[in-house]
Each structure stands twice: as structure tokens, then as C-alpha cells.
Amino acid sequence: MSDKTILIIGTYDTKDDELNYVASRIRSQGGQVLTMDVSVLGDPSTPTDYSKHNVAEAGGSSIKAAIDSGDENTAMQIMADGCAALCLKLWQDRVFDGVILLGGSMGTDLALDVTSALPVGVPKYIVSTVSFSSMLPPERLAPDVQMILWAGGLYGLNAICKSSLSQAAGAVLGAARAVEAPARDRPLVGMTSLGSSALRYMLRLKPELEERGFDLAVFHATGMGGRAFEGLAAQGAFACVMDFCTQEVGNYVHGSSISAGPDRLMAAGTHRVPQIVSAGCYDLVDIVAWQGVADKWANHPNHTHNRLINSIVLNAEERREVARAHAERLAQAKGPTAFLMPNKGYGEWDREGADLHDPEGLGAFLDEMRKSMPPNVDFRELDCHINDDEFADAALEIFDGWLEKGLITR
């Protein structure tokens, strides 16, 4: 008897053989299969469980409208909207246990919408000829999506692409069997940070929050971590957020490719999630180390963290820009919002006596935050460093107060 059902999605008019091969591999391992066609012009060799007409209609359109548009991009967006809506409905009805999507750049564009529509915990795999490409914007990647490069898979089956397809088939079925979906028995606090060599507040706060009956999820604020954090905040996954490392805001403002997108520091406030915010490592902009240093950063100090990340130290005026970006985002918050501003530094490397200590730059940031902070924010200046116990104590004081008032609920 089969135990898990995998939904296979692709353009069956052009990739019929490949999609059927994936189905055969899943069935050979004891899994069940459902199929969904997102073609526009052609038809599959045999009917799929969900036709292209079902898909287009789920998005409030039709195959005729897609064809009549006369534009392949418009047509595929019609199919992407319908596929995302239909898949979410099928998941809510527990029709399938995991999803796998195949495609080139066109199919991958659709796949990103579909996987983003499904909640965390749904096994989701994309087999793509453009996996890991820089053309894939971080903000479109679902927090737990898995990708595999479809090597040699642009047209037709062969030994190379069968290797990729069979691995992906086994992976999605195995994930559906093994996944432990996020439990909802304890409320969750979302937190952002970097590694403990730079930021350490989570070491103090984790046991304190657990003692209060909350779980803590800490997100690595290096682009994709911030995207996952924002996405989950928008879904209502958190009872409260402690967004203490907002370096990705500065990365975006100053054009780094290590970005969480333009909406960083927005989801919690927009969706009324209580948020306690600070600006851990605001003074640094991360760049990709192996790409070299751009001319605009030539006269800036930098800290090479490893072969992947190089951190540029911002000057005073650049720090003021980051401060204003924080204030602009926080001004749009609709829920309880507090900002903690330690006046002795925001990362272990900027302490007095450390290599990146810059009193002028820190002073500029603090001054701009005082000038820019909107009235809807509970603004608290602290005479400490972000890694001092006083900072964690101040965060807990706000958290406990909101908990007592019922602003944070269990």
C-alpha cells in the first residue's frame, strides 16, 4: 500500500517524457502520484489529474485568455496564478503530501510562485535548469524550498538528466515520509541574528523565553534568512518577533546582492505582530567576498569574515542613511513596536578597543535615529552594548509587559 502522495507539476506538452519518468520513480519506491499540467498550447500524451484548464480557471482566467494574450510571459503568469491557488487549495484539503515541479526558466518562474504559496513544512522540490542562478531573486524563494540542478535536461531524457530526476523523486518522497511539520503546541518567537562571534543576545534570551512557555527560532540575517523570517511573520507564525539584527536593511539600501529584498523590517509591523527591534551590525554591509570589492567601497575599512562574506564598514553619512531606512519602515507598523538603541555598539567587532570601533560613525547613527524615530515606536535608549546583559534584560522587560497586557498571546 502506498503511504504518501506526491503532486508532480510541469508543462506536459513539452516535458511529457521527463514528468512521466519522475512519476515512475516515485511509484517504484511505493509512493502515489498526482499530476498537474501547466501547459498552454499543447496537450499531454495521456490526461493528467489536473488539466491546464483546471489550472487557468483556478486563477480566475482561462486557457483561451492565455493564448489570446499573444505573449508567453503573460500566458505563463496566468498559469502561475492558477497553479499557486489550486495547489494551496489542494494542500488545505490534504490531497497531497509533497510537491515537485520541473522546468527551465519559464517553468521555474511558475514554480517559485507555487512553492511560495505553500506553507512551511510542505515538502517542495524544484528541478530546474537554472537552479542556484543569480537570476533567482531571494525574495521569491520559499523558506524551505529545495532545488536541484536539472543537468542536461533542457530537452529529452538521457542518462545525465535521469540522475537528477531520480534523485529529486526520491528526495521529495523521502521528505514527505520524514517531515515533522511545525508544531503549534507552544507559541513561537522569531529572532534575527548573526553567529555568536558577532551577536550574543540569543544565548541569554533563549532559556528565558523557553521558561515563559515560548519556543525561539533564530534566523541568520544573511539574505535568505531574512526572507524566511519576513515570510513567516507575514503568515502569522510568530507570537512576537525580536528583530535585533537588521543588517539586511543596510545591505539593501547600499546595493548589496546579499539582500532580503525591499520589504525587510516590514512584515511584522504590517501584520500587527508585536515587534521588539534593534539594529545589530547595522554598520556593516556584506558583499560576496569572491567577487572582489567594488570601487565605491575602495576607501572603506572591511572585515573578511570568510571566503564567502566580506563586510564593508560604513562611514558616518552612510550610517545615517541606514538609520532613516529603519525609521521609515517602523513608521508603517500597525502593531506594538519598540526599538532598543544601545549607545555603546551593535556588534562584537565595534566595541571600544575592537578593530571596527568608530565613535564618529556610531554617534552619527545614534543622532539620526533620535531625529527620525516615528511617534508610534516605543523608543528606548540604553547605556550598554547590544551584547551586554542589560540589552537582553531590556528586551525581556518589554516582552513581559506586553505579555501581561495581552498584546502577546499564547
pLDDT digits (tens, 9 = 90+) for 55-98: 999 999 999 999 999 999 999 999 999 999 999 999 999 999 99
Q: What is the CA radius of gyration of the chain?
A: 24
Query: What is the spatial distance between Cα 319 and Cα 339, in angstroms, rounded to a whole number?
Result: 17
- How do the domains of the chain map onto residue ranges? 5-178, 188-405
Fold identical between 5-178 and 188-405? yes
Task: Give the contacts of 373 (CB within 8 A, at least 6 positions apart).
Answer: 327, 330, 339, 379
Q: Say if CB 175 and CB 26 are below 8 A apart.
A: no
Q: Where on the phi/psi map is residue 75: left (φ > 0), alpha (ψ -120 to 50), or beta? A: alpha
> What nine digits make up the cell of 50?
489536473
Query: What is the spatial distance between Cα 268 and Cα 258, in angstroms, rounded to a whole number?
Result: 21
Task: Give the contacts of 229 (CB within 8 A, at least 6 positions apart).
Answer: 190, 192, 219, 221, 241, 243, 260, 267
Query: What is the spatial distance between Cα 298 and Cα 158, in angstroms, rounded to a whole number?
Result: 48
Q: How many helices (H) and strands (E) does the chain have?
A: 13, 14
pLDDT digits (tens, 9 = 90+) for 95-130: 999 999 999 999 999 999 999 999 888 999 999 999
Stretch (H or E) spanning 382: strand 378-382
DSSP 50: B
**Model pTM greater than 0.75?**
yes
Query: What is the spatial distance between Cα 131 and Cα 208, in angstroms, rounded to a whole number?
Result: 40
Stretch (H or E) spanning 104: none
User: Each residue's pLDDT tens digit in the chain (410 positions)?
Assistant: 468 999 999 999 999 999 999 999 999 999 999 999 999 999 999 999 999 999 999 999 999 999 999 999 999 999 999 999 999 999 999 999 999 999 999 999 999 999 999 988 899 999 999 998 888 887 788 888 999 999 888 788 999 999 999 999 999 999 999 998 777 789 999 999 998 889 999 999 999 999 999 999 999 999 889 988 998 899 899 999 999 999 999 999 999 988 888 999 999 999 999 999 999 999 999 998 888 888 899 899 988 888 888 999 999 999 999 999 999 999 999 999 999 999 999 999 899 998 889 999 999 999 999 999 999 999 999 999 999 999 999 999 999 999 999 999 87
CATH 3.40.50.12020 fits 5-178, yes or no: yes
Q: What CATH topology corresponds to 188-405?
A: Rossmann fold (3.40.50)
> What nine digits make up the cell of 133?
542562478
Query: What is the spatial distance between Cα 260 and Cα 264, in angstroms, rounded to a whole number?
Result: 6
Task: Give the contacts of 216 (CB within 8 A, at least 6 positions apart).
Answer: 188, 189, 191, 202, 205, 206, 209, 210
